[in-house]
Amino acid sequence: MNLFDFSLQLNGFPIKKATRLLNTIQEISDSDFNAYIESKKQAIVKHHLKNNAFYKGFAKNIDDSDWNSVPVMTKKELQKPLKDRISKGFTNKNIYVNKTSGSSGDPFVFAKDKLCHALTWAIIQNRFGWYNLDFNNSKQARFYGIPLDKKGYYKERFKDKLSRRFRFSVFDLSDTAFEKHLEKFKSTPFDYINGYTSSIVLFAKFLQKKKCILKAFCPSIKACVVTSEMLFEDDKKLMETQFGIPIINEYGASELDLIAFENPNGNWQVNSESLFVEILDEKNNVLPYGEEGRIVITSLYNKAHPFIRYDIGDVGILSKESTSKTPILEKLTGRTNDIAILPSGKKAAGLTFYYITKSIIEDDGNVKEFVIEQHKTEVFKVKYVSSETLSEEKIKVITDEMEKYLEKGLSITFERQEKLIRSKSGKLKQFTSYLNQNK
């Protein structure tokens, strides 16, 4: 057994058993897969109704013959002590405990039973294998945050050592830091890059400015997997050009699993092995493939903690080409709480501003990155990092475009920054509304 798998097994996570289970699931035929999903949905509901007092109280009116009678869970309902949400037979000794990032504004502590957590890793390893990447042996260039307290810092560094990865700081994204990164790529046979989208995009922009291709300096590099933040098509093209490798889009949630992973055909394939993903409207009605709505997910194997029809807080579309065994996430449009409310009462996804502004603001390479904040219904602030201050002409073009696509009468200010503030984890939130805080 390889070192990473051995460390999982040593800590009580049965990775070999999970891998066998995954293989069994994947061998189920397309024609039989819907029956598999239905049986697992019913089994996980029955398990938690029988063994979980919290869930029994939450879901008291379920009709066994009607899946739509199963209530939708939100993050707010899970913001109570973990000990009150754990199923019978589970304690801290036989579960995996972690907490969500809080990027949604509703952080909470969660648990998985150990087989469920091992299955998460089995699925991740399987997906990386699509690109001939071996999670145990392939060398990873990791663009992630890291705890700054001594204990957390050294714990992550030890895990990096076990997992054959080198961590690049996402808290220093200066050209000086990127020069050092490039030297590390020259001297290390990395197999792939993995990490937060925004920091990797900045590294690609640095390479573009230097007019160099990463693969020329690091011939062993095969792929780049980006996660945790939105990946825009023009950023993907930039990274493909400057790295000289495929860019793979990943979508996941720590409390659940890997949710979707871009397959070699360029489709965002949803994890149907351990999750059941639905798209619901505002009244919790299931929407057909091709229609946009709230992403609601059931964890089919987590017996320690219920995540059943769990509203993750994201909005998206499942493609019309989806099947039970191979659902395809056609579009991920952002979080339900990243909504801008305009003076007229009209609502717009916060990323609408980001899309509009991005198409204009970065065309000459001056602006490295930016975020948008809403302070009042009519007041928006664009904070940006750039080589030079934006010209009045550029500001007018952006303002006009925002009003054209949204509505007139908006007050849009621009504020140049030395660097943008990231969360403690190192992630960059592209749109933030402060309307609730200002009430």
Decide: 295 and 270 in contact? Cβ < 8 Å: no
Residue 110 · residue 255 · CB < 8 Å: yes
CATH T-level assignment (fold) for domain 3-269: Rossmann fold (3.40.50)
Fold of 339-438: GMP Synthetase; Chain A, domain 3 (3.30.300)
**pLDDT tens digit string along 160-201?**
887 788 999 887 888 899 999 999 999 999 999 999 888 899
224 pairs with which residues across the strands?
193, 247
Q: Whole-angstrom Cα distance, residue 77 to residue 362? A: 41
Question: Hey, what are 276's tokens?
Answer: 């059941």
Cβ burial, residue 348 (10 Å; 0-12/13-18/19+): middle
CA atoms within 13 A on the CB side of 131: 26
- Please check whether the two domains, 3-269 and 339-438, share a CATH topology: no
Q: Are residues 312 and 253 in contact, defined by beta-carbon separation less than 8 angstroms?
A: yes
Is the alpha carbon torsion for 234, 172, 338, 224 positive or negative? positive
* pLDDT tens figures, 8-41: 888 889 999 999 999 999 999 999 999 999 999 9
Lowest mean pLDDT among 254-258, 265-269, 332-336: 332-336
Q: Which pLDDT value is given to residue 161?
A: 80
* Alpha carbon distance 185, 190 (integer Å): 7
> Which position has the token pair 């989806």?
322
Q: What are phi and psi of 212, to 5 degrees?
A: -135, 155
3-class DSSP state for residue 351?
Answer: helix
pLDDT in tens, 295-315: 999 999 999 999 999 999 888
Dump pLDDT digits (tens) for 219-252: 999 999 998 777 888 899 999 999 999 999 999 9
> What per-residue confidence (pLDDT) applies to 438?
45
Q: Is the pLDDT of residue 397 over 50?
A: yes
| R_g (Cα) of the chain, nearest Å | 22
pLDDT digits (tens, 9 = 90+) for 58-91: 998 899 889 999 999 998 888 888 899 999 999 8
Q: Where are the domains of the chain?
A: 3-269, 339-438
pTM of the model: 0.82
